[in-house]
């Protein structure tokens, strides 16, 4: 049963243009969050914390993908 659920989730997460929508949302939300969290560092010319920068894009992508895949699974 758990393997079947995982397979269904992966199918949903990789279908119906979900990745493209997640990436679009990530570009917008991640950029805004990076400006809020590290804007002073970016505007002053200092190198931002690259680990935090990457996480700030990864988290919205994961949230959007999980939410979208879950919604698709419920519809099916």
* Whole-structure pTM value: 0.85
User: What is the Cα–Cα distance from 44 to 34, expressed in whole angstroms?
Assistant: 14
Residue 44, SS3 per DSSP: coil
Query: Length of the chain in residues, anyone?
Result: 76
Residue 53, C-beta contacts closer than 8 angstroms, at least 6 positions apart = 34, 38
> Residue 42 has what pLDDT?
85
Q: Does residue 1 carry a pLDDT above 80? A: no
Residue 51 contacts residue 62 (beta carbons within 8 Å): no
pLDDT band at 51 (very low <50, low <70, confident <90, very high): very high
């Amino acid at each position: 049963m758990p393997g079947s659920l995982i397979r269904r989730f992966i199918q949903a997460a990789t279908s119906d243009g979900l990745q493209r929508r997640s990436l679009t949302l990530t570009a917008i939300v991640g950029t805004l969050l990076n400006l809020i969290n590290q804007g002073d560092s970016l505007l002053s010319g200092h190198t931002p914390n690259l680990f935090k920068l990457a996480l700030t894009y990864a988290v919205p992508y994961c949230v959007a993908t999980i939410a979208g895949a879950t919604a698709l699974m419920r519809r099916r």
